[in-house]
Structure 1
Amino acid sequence: MNPEFLQLDLPQRLAGRVALAHVTVVPMDAERRLPDHSLVLEDGLIRALGPVREINTTGMRVIDGSGKYVMPGLADMYTHYWDPADCPLYLAHGITLVRTVGTPFQLAMERVAERGEFPSPRMITISPPIDGVGPNGRTDMPRGVAMTSPEQAQPLVQRFVLGGYHQIKAFSLLQPENLRALGRASAGAGVRMTANCPNAMTFEEAIEAGASCFDQLHNIARGHLRSDAPVPERWDRFDPVPGTRLDFAAIRRLARFMAERQTWNVPTLVFHQRGGLSPAEEMADPQLKYVSPSSIKDWESTLIRWARRARLDDVDRWRAAARERAIAFLQVVSIFHEEGVPLLTGTDSLNPWNVQGASLHEELANFVAAGMSPFAALRCATAEAARFLGDSERWGTVAPGKRADLVVTRSDPLRDVRALRDIDAVFVNGYHLARADLDSLLAQRAALAAAPPRLPAVNLLQNTWVERIVGAETGRIAWRHSRLADGGWLIEEQHAAAVPRRHVERRNTRLVLDQDFKLQSCAYTVDSFAGSEMGQIRRSARGEYRITLKEVDGSESRDTVTGDSMLPSERLSSTLWPLLFAQQSPRNAIVPALDVEGGNLVVMDLRLAMKDKGCWQLSVERLTHATEQTYRLADDGRFLGMQEMMPLLWLRELVPFS
């Protein structure tokens, strides 16, 4: 753990044995209460549990739990835990385990959390979304991994399983034959395949292909529309209209099919509800004090993007359809519960107006509104979550030998799940967070959200640029360009960044280029809270580029590309391009560039074009997203600024620091 990248004053882990005495235990193995009990906790485990009179607490620190209730910590089984500074939001709401879509950073952070280096929910990191490509030639999400043929299934599953990801995540644009291949490869590796149901398939077809859990209810309308409902010309997970036209008799047949096969569902009702809120309702949420203004602007852009995806002409129409769909989805969950479909609580936070932590309490209330008892709803966030992960022996209920990941409430959660909105304390992985600790962490998190991002230090090199995303300063790039004796160039860059919805990091890059700006070598490190990524690229005398890479999660890889020398991509160097445009003035050229993708070297086609006097454009198409950057230069070649529209409709700008 690198504390430079987490600006929170954190409590210390417990030392020695601690007893929680005179508390009512809600073990969640059955609908029962154990009054006036004591628990002995040590090293993050429950060492003893029993009536107060039977537990000897001599020599221990004793916490009086009189009038309080203790139950297992909650699990958010579908969220996006991308920033360690979000830990207060989860913990203050009793969430002691999260299942998150992953990257190497999430894997590394999972290990930091498991070692108890900071108070955090435990993490279950699933693979990046494995996706097909749509009509635009790209994956649905910028962080997706493109799969366009069944032959890719085995190496993809092997790569992610060996990397330490707990499950394989299939996504919306996969074609049926590719999902079936991915299902076979996952089964062969002994790992669960979970899915956003692909647009081209029904839930039943995806289950037959090997999906054992659906994250969300996207695409459930396919094959389950009312007879009078028109079939969409193109299915899209962000089109809410089909979800308003469900045939609930068909949904009940689907529920029986899923129950028979024990196919799980994380419906994320709160995600669907939040998208349908009016602007006034959105901005009235007190939880927004934990969200940065740039993220809120991002949410506004996101709803515009979703409305366009649904081919609706304005956001208000999209919101209205989303509200109606959310009502229908609540009925779907009610039917699923009645028919015995195994359900899990999840939120898909941080998505528009859906703040981590409090949103899980809303989801529990949704489950009760769908017809569950408080006990049944809480099981979906505790014991059932452990069963889904095959980990019931270690957590999910309160018993000796199990993890001491616990929530202490001031009223009975079996009477009303809203008891979890009044938490007295949380125990997680050896930490005891009393109410005062939780309040302190929340206050610090609110202060972080309200202030400009706290960037890690960069050395003062020759020049500095400021990075802005949706109008807010999110980074600094310090750089120096030096001419070498052979006419080539040495480019040094330090880029400190706090991109919305991500963690803070600092990238240090050193490139050696020939006089035509072709790459000869590149060494870079990316420092973050969870560790460092380190890469080294060299060009050999035999005309090969070779990379040695160590990811932040500790995995190592090597790769080689043979060919002529080429430019570095715009991801390997941010500051090269004004220099190149000023020196070479390319008017309309397509040139190869070397890039790093998923630990491998890849060759991309860069389009470089002069759009107007002093205005150049750089564009590149990737399977995950398209990049188009516009640079402005003064007559003397000085850099004036760069703009690009990022994949999530974020406007990114670079300007000289003044």
Structure 2
Amino acid sequence: MNRFLATGLALLLALGPAWASERLRYVALVDGGRQAGHQLVETGEDGVTRVEFVFKDNGRGPELQEEFALAADGTYRSYRVRGESTFGAKVDESFSREGSLARWRSTSDAGEREVDGVALYTPLGGTPAVFSVALGALAARGDAGLPLIPSGTLRARRLAGAEIRRGEETRSVQLLALTGIGFTPQFAWATTGERPRLFAFIFPGFLQLIEEGWEANADALEAQQKVEEGKALVDLQRRLAQPLRGATLVRNARVFDSEKAQLGASADVLLRDGRIVAVTAAGGGGDADRIIDAGGRVLLPGLFDMHVHAGRWDGGLHLASGVTTVRDMGNDNATLQQLMQEEREGTLLSPRVVAAGFIEGESPMSARNGFVIEDLDDARAAVDWYAANGYPQVKIYNSFPRRLLGDTVAYAHEKGLRVSGHVPAFMRAQDVVDLGFDELQHINQLLLNFFVTPDTDTRTLERFYLVAEKTAGLDLDSQPVQDFIALLAEKRIAVDPTLATFEFLHQRDGELSPIFASIEDHVPPDVQRSRRVAEMDIPDDATGARYRESFAKLVEFVGRMYRAGVPIVAGTDEVPGFTLQRELELYVEAGMTPAQALQVATWTAAGISGVRDDRGSIAPGRRADLILVDGDPTRDIGDIRRVALVIKGETAYAPAAIHAELGIKPFTEAAAIVPAGR
């Protein structure tokens, strides 16, 4: 599970149970029906509900013990949750309400406030069970919405119903869309009646949490949910997309030359039917159906995020941040194929997708996206499928068998596919480079090269804690480090460091995630609060200082690789859009100029993705994937957040409108598109 999904579940499922049954059990199924956890909910004669929630996938996951009691209005009278988060941080959170006084305390915040009437506390570290409290309290409120503590209002809308079966038993359930928490709607299957509760929570392509005994219905519910989500997504695209059929003139823009990493003089850029026709000196643009007056703004090629696990609701955040192409680095194959088809058809608010085929080895700790293989025939069949479906590369994952790696890499190369990935367990980064990898993902996978032993199982949380503990003491001028960087440069091994994602290594409880630190006032209060929660177990100041020093060396290591000639690509594996902007800031901290960081996210990325003839630069014949930015991000990389307009082929998007739709305060006004002759 990627960190954005893990964080989203902690935030969005933190809403909880009120039902009559004394004991209820859920099972958590991932990727093809493998059980990866459970949730046991018991309500005692004392009126207290106790919940045990355990979820383990890809060597990590939360373990939580939760208990609460409800007031007459169905909201929490008292609440407590303890345990460990996905990455091992301590969870200890409580809430109480006496009369109108509400108090809460977590590892990252504490507060109290006077509350009039009905209001529901939203835990930061809650279990999926707490969906049900919200559903019951909402049902009692009708269409009024449910005020939240500390802030916000929760609403639910019924999208569809379904009849499900267990032997001779039948049951009616309903799909609800919940809004008011996070950036996008969340979907839950609930029971019907006056006091609905959670029946299933489904994250299509990844997770099915469903009442035990009803698992046979999960796939059908997922399929129906995807249809209903699709209807909402089509409507979102329809409302936010601005067609640019025919000819469009972008007038008086300072054009960024991504190949040379430099900003040119003012120019006119003529577009027709989704392609760039001409780039001329300002004033010589030619006839067009409509005009976009750039007013001296900077025009860049659309940005690439080279490490995502694409979801159908991610597109708004990507596009509003100027990301017009993403590289998917591991997904459920059917889910990704559907998403890519919807993007091509123009029905989905989404960047373009470059797909990397996911191949994992069979083990109790396997991530089960893509293909999970046991022998060389399986591996070759997976490579064949990806090659036949137009994937330019494959990604090897943590449990891939060492004995099969060399032959699999060679076979992928025979088929014309690049090979990238994590370093499989019990191997070092240098080993996979020697076996023919073209690219490595994640900065921790590189630094583990200097810390692991043959017995280190990097499928566990060791792959994070070893790097946090030991990098501070690593001499970057030592011969082993210098030799390793030289090897990467000599073999032109691309590196996708995802630095911004790994700032969780040093973030402590109460500190706002650096991804959001400079834009705190722009995002909703519930998002601000959720992003003050630490993910690592950092027990004291000395540990915190050491982990912070380790992260600083990770940044320095990226700078050293870049200066040595190692190709760097900008990927995230975290919250869309905002994380890429932070990633580019960290590249500047590592020693790149702002223009070089932008080059990494455009020209370099297009080359590694194999699409440089199509996009990644502003030149005649290239696809019209462009972003218009206020300020000058070639001087101040922070200006990359001030995107005034995004053009993706024959469609334009106003980031201000997208952000307003997602509850985000816009960063700049939208650039106007007007008919020619006005």
**Range class of TM-score, shorter chain:** 0.5 to 0.7
Q: Which amino acid aligns with 2:560?
A: I
Alignment partner of 1:215 is 2:444? no
Task: Please give the alpha-carbon distance, in whole angstroms, between the structure 2 residues aligned to 1:164 and 1:258.
Answer: 27
1:364 maps to: 584
Checking the alignment, whether the CA contact within 8 Å between 1:14 and 1:430 is kept in structure 2 is yes
- Kept in 2: contact 1:78–1:98 (CA 8 A): yes
Q: Which residue of 2 aligns with 1:155?
A: 381
Q: Does 1:48 align with 2:275?
A: no
| Corresponding residue number in structure 1 for 2:289 | 60
Task: Specify the code of the residue in structure 1 equivalent to 2:280.
Answer: G
Q: Distance in 1 between matches of 2:403 and 2:566?
A: 26
State yes or no: 1:237 paired with 2:237. Answer: no
Secondary structure at the aligned position of 1:356 is classed as coil
Taking structure 2 as the reference length, the TM-score comes to 0.57
**Rounded Cα–Cα distance in structure 2 between residues aligned with 1:38 and 1:223:** 49
Q: 1:152-551, aligned counterparts within 5 Å?
A: 152-225=378-451, 233-235=456-458, 236-239=462-465, 240=467, 241-248=469-476, 249=478, 250-282=480-512, 285=517, 303=535, 322-349=547-574, 355-433=575-653, 437-446=654-663
Q: d(CA) in 2 for partners of 1:287 and 1:173? A: 38
CA contact (8 A) 1:175 1:200 kept: no
* 252 and 291 in structure 1: CA distance in 2 versus 1, 3 angstrom threshold: farther
1:97 corresponds in structure 2 to 325
Deviations along 1:157-186, whole A, 9 cap, x unmatched? 112322443321101222322222321221
Does the CA-based 8 Å contact 1:78-1:266 persist in structure 2? yes
Checking the alignment, whether the CA contact within 8 Å between 1:74 and 1:381 is kept in structure 2 is: yes
Q: Take 1:161 and 1:291, find their aligned partners in 2: how far apart are those partners?
A: 42
Q: What one-letter code is carried by the residue in structure 1 that aligns with 2:285?
A: I
Query: What CA distance in whole angstroms lies between the structure 1 residues aligned with 2:472 and 2:300?
Result: 37
- For residue 112 of structure 2, what is the aligned residue in structure 1? none
Report the Cα offset of residue 330 of structure 1.
Answer: 0.8
C-alpha distance in 1 between matches for 2:663 and 2:361: 35
Which amino acid letter does the alignment assign opposite residue 571 of structure 2? G
Pairs aligned (count): 423
CA offset digits 1:334-377 (Å, max 9, x no partner): 2101211000111111xxxxx22111111111111111112211
* SS of residue matched to 2:358: coil
Percentage of identical aligned residues? 24
User: Residues of 2 paired with 1:212 and 1:419: CA distance?
Assistant: 32
After TM superposition, give the deviation of residue 68 of structure 1 in Å.
Answer: 1.0
CA–CA distance in structure 2, aligned partners of residues 86 and 30 of structure 1: 31
Asked whether the 8 Å contact 1:276–1:322 carries over to 2, the reply is yes
Picking from 290, 297, 304, the partner of 1:75 is: 304
Alpha-carbon separation, structure 1, partners of 2:528 and 2:405:
33
Segments of 5+ residues of structure 2 without an aligned counterpart are: 1-226, 665-678
SS at match of 2:243: coil
SS at match of 2:251: strand
Deviation string, structure 1 residues 66-88 (Cα, Å, up to 9, x no partner)? 22110111111012221x22212
- The answer (yes or no) to whether the contact 2:261–2:598 under 8 Å persists in 1 is no
Q: Is the Cα contact below 8 Å between 2:308 and 2:571 reproduced in 1?
A: yes
Q: CA offsets, 1:293-329, max 9 Å, x none?
A: 79997996x93xx76xxxx9x6999866653432121
The answer on 1:30 being equivalent to 2:260 is: yes
Q: Distance in 1 between matches of 2:532 and 2:309?
A: 15
Q: Letter of the aligned partner of 1:102 in structure 2?
A: N
Report the alpha carbon displacement of residue 144 of structure 1 after superposing the two structures with TM: 6.2
Amino acid at match of 2:231: E
CA offsets, 1:258-277, max 9 Å, x none?
Answer: 11111100111101113421
Which letter does structure 1 place at the counterpart of 2:340?
E
Q: 1:4 aligns with which of 221, 231, 234?
A: 231
1:153–1:181 CA contact under 8 A, matched in 2: no
Query: What amino acid sits opposite 2:554 in the alignment?
Result: F
Paired residue type of 1:374: P
State whether residues 359 and 379 of structure 2, in contact with CA within 8 Å, keep that contact through their aligned partners in structure 1: no
**Runs of 5+ in structure 1 lacking a partner?**
350-354, 448-658
Once residues 471 and 601 of structure 2 are traced to their aligned partners in structure 1, the CA distance between those partners, rounded to angstroms, is 25
Paired residues of 1:364 and 1:378 also in contact (CA < 8 A): yes
Q: 8 Å contact 1:75–1:98 — kept in the other structure?
A: yes
For the 8 Å contact 1:25–1:70, the answer to whether it is kept is yes
Q: In 1, distance between residues paired with 2:322 and 2:373? A: 37
- CA gap of 1:5–1:30, structure 2 versus 1, over 3 A, is same
Determine helix, strand or coil for the equivalent of 1:342: coil
Q: Which amino acid aligns with 1:86?
A: D
Q: Structure 1 residues 24 and 185, CA, compared in 2 at 3 Å: closer, same or farther?
A: same
Match of 1:120 among 324, 336, 350: 350
Q: CA 1:31 to 1:146, structure 2 compared with 1: closer, same or farther past 3 Å?
A: closer
SS in 1 for 2:355: strand
Q: How much does 1:244 deviate?
A: 3.8
**Secondary structure in 2 matching 1:218:** helix
Contact 1:92 1:426 in 2 (8 A): yes
Tell me the distance in 1 between the aligned counterparts of 2:370 and 2:471. Answer: 25
The letter for the 2-side match of 1:158 is D
Is the 1:148–1:178 Cα contact (8 Å) retained in structure 2?
A: no
Aligned 8 A contact 1:273 1:322 in 2: no
8 A contact 2:318–2:577 mirrored in 1 = yes
Q: 1:87 to 1:319 in 2, by over 3 A?
A: farther
Residue deviations 1:514-549 (CA, integer Å, cap 9, x gap): xxxxxxxxxxxxxxxxxxxxxxxxxxxxxxxxxxxx
The separation in 2 between residues aligned to 1:114 and 1:292, in whole angstroms, is: 35
- Given that 1:221 and 1:246 are in contact with CA atoms closer than 8 Å, whether structure 2 keeps it comes out as no
Deviations, residues 399-445 of structure 1 (Å, cap 9, x unaligned): 01101111111222222222212122111122122xxx322212222
Query: C-alpha distance in 2, partners of 1:245/1:138?
Result: 30
- C-alpha distance in 1, partners of 2:339/2:449? 40
Distance 1:219 1:155, change over 3 A: same
Q: Residues 423 and 224 from structure 1, CA distance in 2 versus in 1: closer, same or farther, beyond 3 angstroms?
A: same
Deviates more, 1:424-433 or 1:109-118: 109-118
Letter of the 1:190 partner, please give it: G
Distance across 1 between alignment mates of 2:521 and 2:385 = 38
Aligned equivalents of 1:169, 1:342: Cα separation in 2: 17
**Compared CA separation, residues 172 and 63, structure 1 to 2 (3 A):** same
1:199–1:219 CA contact under 8 A, matched in 2: no
Q: Which amino acid is the alignment partner of residue 14 of structure 1?
A: L
Within 2, Cα distance between the matches of 1:96 and 1:131? Answer: 32
